[in-house]
Amino acid sequence: MIYPEPVARLIDALTRLPGIGPKTAQRLAFFILKRPADEAQALAGAIVAARTQVVTCSRCHNLTDTDPCRLCSDESRDRTMLCVVQEPRDVAAMERTREYRGLYHVLHGAISPLDGVGPDDLRVRELVARLHDGSVSEVILATNPNVEGEATALYLARLIRSVTPAVRVTRIARGLPVGGDLEYADEVTLSKALEGRREL
Amino acid sequence: MALYKVEAVVLRTREYGEADKIVTLYSREEGKLHGIAKGARRPRSRLAGGMQPFTHVRLMLWRGRNLDTVSQCEIVAAFGPLREDLTRLAHASYVVDLVDEVTRERDANQDLFLTLLGTLHLLAWDQRPVLATRMFEARLLVLSGFRPVLDQCAGCQGSLGADGRRWFSAAAGGLVCPNCRVRERHAIAVSGGTVAALGHLLTADLRRLGVLRPSTQIERELEAVLRAAWDYRIERPLRSLAFLAAVRETPPPAKVAKGPPAQGVRPEED
Ligand SMILES: [Zn+2]
Ligand SMILES: [Zn+2]
């Protein structure tokens, strides 16, 4: 079927979203067209605002609209603990447990030997730099419990031990089922895993 | 749609959609194949544990138009140590990367499958993962039809001469005599001991890897020869080699005495 050019463009843009195929994109496009104009305006505005106002925090590299982010500037957080996660969504997952009161460091990915993603492609140098002032006494490695996450944790443990031996390095326990993504874990599983972390 | 069964090793996985994975498998029955494992990234998925690199699995798949769908997965061996030791993990990554690079889809080779399985066993539990990797590189040359010529000159088929020192040329496909060596500019000098060790790696039973005790010098030469042989056969540098190099550059620090662990924290042995 041939659509008017603006509709075709909208469908094309929606298809680029993860998990959205051409059929879903069509359905979403026509849903948007049927709704009042101000709703579409609000949606477009929200997308533009999120894209332009969100930056990465210069300390923890989490996504934020203030720099440093709210977590980094919160004086009540424990500055001796640093929890290392792969993605910004993992910070949200850890925060939902309400167990952890330290700071975070977001790597923006995981080492994947088979895809050519190495330490230099992640915020690893920035992590090491944060450890040099001596305020952090423990690093908790909370990468995903799959091969890439384990490779990342093993590599970071080795690196941190060699450059800042005084820092204790722990790994969240394998209370999490292997092979999955951290963000899908429920709060109970995740806080259990945090409780049972160990040296690496 | 037809349901079929394979025994396979997971070579690599790629995230797909919300929670799915596309997996590359090397199976005993059909050689390399791709499948989609729906929901495999959710912790509670019954496919989550098995659909990870290096895992030896038995699978049921639905034949699809483009991609086959994994319907059931039973783990035969998870090779846990490959995920708990950086060196073993880096070597295993290189081994599966090499298999993925040199094999074609649906081109079964049972010997290759068994060699891959045996190598993963060695990489997980043998004391010398580096040597296991050398053995795999050598065996894969044979299985891919590139067995290096060691008993005569690979250039002119003449005698190699009496001298104990030898030259290996990846382009010629084996050792070359002093005359041919002049033309083979990239030939690598190797000792008689390295030639003997390479002969052992090419033919011996995988379980007999232990009898080989190469010196550091021989180990270095074996690595150079097999690296050259594979670099000559494959077009692009393997990505996993960069990680292997990064791991080598970050050696484990010397053991330091630690205080008693805090409550709820178990120090890990490594
Ligand atoms: Zn921050
Ligand atoms: Zn010759």
Domains and CATH numbers, chain B: 3-78 (2.40.50.140), 82-248 (1.20.1440.120)
Q: Which of A184, A186, A192, A194 to mutate to test the interface with B (most CBs of B within 10 A)?
A: A184
Coil, strand or helix: which one is A88?
A: helix
Residue of A nearest to B41 (CA): A180
Question: What is the pTM for the complete model shown?
Answer: 0.84
Coil, strand or helix: which one is B145?
A: coil
Q: How far apart are CA A88 and CA A91, in angstroms?
A: 5
pLDDT tens profile A45-78:
999 999 999 999 999 999 999 999 999 999 999 9
What pLDDT tens digit does each residue of chain A (200 aa) get?
678 999 999 999 999 998 788 899 999 999 999 999 999 999 999 999 999 999 999 999 999 999 999 999 999 999 999 999 999 999 999 999 899 999 999 999 999 998 889 999 999 999 999 999 899 999 999 999 888 999 999 999 999 999 999 999 999 887 666 677 777 766 666 776 787 787 87
Of A158, A159, A184, the CB nearest to B41: A184
A165 touches B at CB < 8 Å: yes
A125 touches B at CB < 8 Å: no
Count of alpha carbons within 13 Å of B13, Cβ hemisphere only?
29
Q: How far apart are CA B17 and CA B237, in angstroms?
A: 29
Q: How far apart are CA A4 and CA B237, in angstroms?
A: 47
* Amino acid identity, position B15: E
Q: How far apart are CA A114 and CA B43, in angstroms?
A: 22
**Residue ranges of chain B with per-residue pLDDT less than 50:** 256-270
Radius of gyration, CA atoms only, chain B: 21
B38 touches A at CB < 8 Å: no
First to last CA, chain A: 57
Structure tokens at B68: 């086959």
